[in-house]
Structure 1
C-alpha cells in the first residue's frame, strides 16, 4: 500500500508541473489555494478514471500506446527538427526524409495503439 501511495505521488508531480508549464504559472509563486485546487482536480480525475476503467489492461494499453509512440518516435523526430537549422539544404535529403518518416510512423503507431486498446475494450 505504501508503494502505491508513493508511486501515485511521484507520478503526479511531473503531471502537475506540466500543467503549470502549459498554463505559464510559476510553481514556486502560486497561491496555496490554487495549487490545492489543481491537485484536488487531478486526484478527482484519477479517482473517476479508476472507477470507470475497471481493468488495468485498458489503462496500461492507453498509457503504453501514448507514451511508447511519443517517447520512441515522435519526440526524437521533433527534437531533431526543432534543434535548429532544420532545412533540406543543411541536413540533406536522406536525414530530412527519414526524420519525417519517423514522425509519421510515430503518429500512426500512437493512433493504432490507442484505437486497438479502445477496440479491445468494447469487444471484450
Structure 2
C-alpha cells in the first residue's frame, strides 16, 4: 500500500487502530517522518516502527476488505462528479432562471464533496 492509500485508509479506519498504531501511521502519513525519525520520537527502533506500520497497514486493509467504505466513497464521489459535469453541459443551453437553479445544484454538489 502506498502512502496515499495508507492515508486514505487511515482517514476512514484509523480510529480503530491502537493508540501506538495511530501514532506511527500519523507520523508516517501526516508528518512525513521516516521510520528512523518516527522511532526516535517514540523511543523505539526503526524495526519496531516498521513492524507496527506493517501490522497497521494490514489491519486497515482488512477493515476495507470487510466494510468497503472507501470503495463506496469513491463511487459516490465519481457519481457526484459525473452529475456535476452533466449539469455543466446542460447549463450552457438554459435560460437565466434555469441557469441559476443549475448553479445552485452544482454548488450543493461541491459542498457535499468537500464534506468528504
Global fold match (TM > 0.5): no
TM-score (norm 1): 0.28
Higher relative contact order (CA 8 A, sep 6+): 1
State the structure with more CA Rg.
2
TM-score (norm 2): 0.30
